[in-house]
Structure 1
Amino acid sequence: MARGFNKRSKATSSDTSPVDIPPPFTRAPASLAPLLDRLDPAQVHLIHIDRLPPAHKRSIFLIPVTLNALIAALLLWRLSHALPKYLTLLQTLLGYTTALTVDPNTTTRKQQFMILAKRTAMFALDFLLYRFIGPWPLTFFLEQPANPCTWRWNIRFLPEEVIVRVSRHWGVEDLLGGVKKGEESPFFKTRVLTAIEPVFMRKTGYLMMDKNWDLEFEVMQDAHVLLQRGEIKTAEIDKLVLAHLEGAGWVYWRWETDDEVVEGRRKKVVAFKEALTKMGKESLFWRWTEIVEEERDVDGGFTRERQERVVERVKGEFEREGVDFEEVVARVGGLDEVAVKGA
């Protein structure tokens, strides 16, 4: 594990001028400051914990290592064969007689055109090879200040790994600027929400690079250093969307998985029932569930109007029993959508 890192000079959450923060974002807590100092304020970041088994991560990472090693070997082989030929061609261009010199007196026009076509094809193929394929092993093994290999060398394969994705070819201005901001922005719906879909989140972190998101290998290494030092906690940096809003500093949104949403609703329903039971009004809980089911069974679907009707009917039942519905709901920390959708 790397023992230290150079701190980037970037904006932090200390910018606290009054400004409206678009939902679902809120101001990032000060406890995240050590990590926020490492992020690029012009980009949007997704951070989560990869909890897939280390053996699975190792087998996945072995594929790009092998592929890039083979590409690097092929490029070096091609270079060892092409370089002497290019040096000889250079000597020919400088006027020296070499094995590649074409004698117009002993070759036909057709032969000359064939030699020209072959050399042109060789130049073109070598250019395409080193221009578009050559960077793959270079960035994988040698890119600085960090690359996939240094990341794996420093953190190895852990049961819990910090994954930091950074927006690619778009940024904070697209998400928090303009007329539609935050959750109303098309970038929130097409770039952020699609990147945290449950099916996609089943992948290991290294497979999450695509046309919209890249991995911040340097920041991922730094995050593990900060965790070792105790400057940040794993729970604080799991499932975060982070962006820097001018005038407000760093803002964040913590997303929930489907299982977490269901479990959260279940706990609130249990707390709601227990609160009514302690008041001797458990019958109101069952009446609430009956009202929800009645409105759900009506033809036309469980529309917004019917959901509002559920709330009004439930409030009426509570009032007839002398119980303040809003007070009970506040006591259990709010029911949100549970109040109309049921357990």
Structure 2
Amino acid sequence: MAQPSNFRDVPIGSPVYSLLCKYDTGHGSFITHLDRMPISMKVGIFLIPFTFNTIMATLIAWRAISASTRYHITAFLFVGELMPKHKAEPPSSWFWFCINILIDIFVYQFMFPVVKKFVLGHLWLRIRWGFRPIEIVFRKPTGLRRGSLNKLPPDEFQLAYTQSIFQAIDPNFLKTNVGYNTRIGFWSVEYEAPMSAYSLVEDGIVDLEYWDVSIY
């Protein structure tokens, strides 16, 4: 359960205040904690989204590379022009043409944003800071349940929000889950803020333990 000590009073103008403001996209709050799970477990969990996103990235690249053949377009790379090939097509080809368009719409509208988010977030965090014995984890209230909770009356929303905080900082939950797996209901993992938080720690501005189980 959340304790008064879990709620941080951050001085206006402080480095931590600037960090929180920088990564607050309008959601208004953060939960932080320190992930002390074994590095081997962190690597194993990371490989799951890494593999999934690698497969999607490969599919996106394949669809992009094969587009000229799929849509019968010859690309003149140096001229920068696109010219359609003129040849007779059987009626059935139009069916597959439309199917390919629908597939590409799905790939580029839904899969590409997921891969982009992973590369700029989780993957970039690992490239910059690697896997550490103790890692800073930020979460923000933008999880899958946020949309449904926003529709609740104010009193019910506040109750659900409070319950989600208790659940998110439950000691047993945090001790048995790697940071990536602490996405739960109302809360999603934020990857850009920890990079700045690590910098504050490295510069000696903030102690690492400062980020343990805190609500902002």
Q: Same fold (TM over 0.5)?
A: yes
Q: Equivalent residue of 1:157, what SS?
A: coil
Residue among 92, 95, 118 paired with 1:140:
118
Task: State the partner residue of 1:197.
Answer: 170
Gapped runs of 5+ residues in structure 2?
A: 76-81
Q: Distance between the aligned counterparts of 1:27 and 1:148, measured in 2?
A: 26
Aligned to 2:46: 61
CA 27–86 in structure 1, closer or farther in 2 if over 3 Å, else same: same
Note if 1:131 corresponds to 2:116: no
Higher mean Cα deviation, 218-227 or 77-86? 77-86
- Quick one: higher RCO (CA 8 Å, sep 6+), 1 or 2? 2
Aligned-partner SS, 1:37? helix
Deviations 1:81-139 (A, max 9, x none): 2233325399xxx996623x33xxxxxxxx62x33322211211221122111222222
Write the letter of the residue equivalent to 1:187: A
Aligned to 2:86: 98
- 1:192 counterpart letter in structure 2: I
Provide closer, same or farther for how the CA distance between residues 236 and 27 of structure 1 changes in structure 2, counting only shifts above 3 A. closer
- Which of 85, 96, 119 is the matching residue for 1:118? 96
Between the two proteins, what is the percent identity of the paired residues? 24
Deviations 1:265-294 (A, max 9, x none): xxxxxxxxxxxxxxxxxxxxxxxxxxxxxx
- Could you say which structure has the larger radius of gyration? 1
1:197 CA displacement: 2.9
Query: 1:217 aligns to what?
Result: 191
Deviation at 1:52, TM superposition (A): 0.7
Closer/same/farther in 2, CA of residues 97 and 61 from structure 1, 3 Å limit: closer
TM-score, normalised by the number of residues in structure 1: 0.49
Q: How does 1:165-314 map to 2 (within 5 A)?
A: 165-168=139-142, 180=155, 185-201=158-174, 202-210=176-184, 212-242=186-216
- Which one-letter code corresponds to 1:76 in the other structure? A
Structure 1 residue aligned with 2:64: 79
8 Å CA contact 1:32, 1:236 repeated in 2: no
Q: Which amino acid aligns with 2:132?
A: L
Provide the secondary structure at the position in 1 that maps to 2:66: helix
Q: Which sections of structure 1, spanning at least 5 residues, go unmatched? A: 1-22, 103-110, 243-343
The answer for the alignment partner of 2:15 in structure 1 is: 34
- Any conservation in 2 of the 1:48–1:237 contact (CA below 8 Å)? yes
Check 1:45–1:125 CA distance in 2 against 1; reply closer, same or farther (3 A cut).
Answer: same
Which residue identity is paired with 1:127? I
| Matched residue type, 2:198 | H
- What's 2:137 paired with? 163
Per-residue CA deviations over 1:27-84 (Å, capped at 9, x if unaligned) read 6054993222111454210000001111211121122222212221222122222233
State the TM-score, normalized to the length of structure 2: 0.75
| 1:185 alignment partner, SS class | helix
How many residues were matched structurally? Answer: 196
Match for residue 32 of structure 2 among 47, 51, 61: 47
CA offsets, 1:137-158, max 9 Å, x none?
22222x3xxx112211222111
Match of 1:317 in 2: none
CA-based RMSD of the aligned residues comes to: 3.4
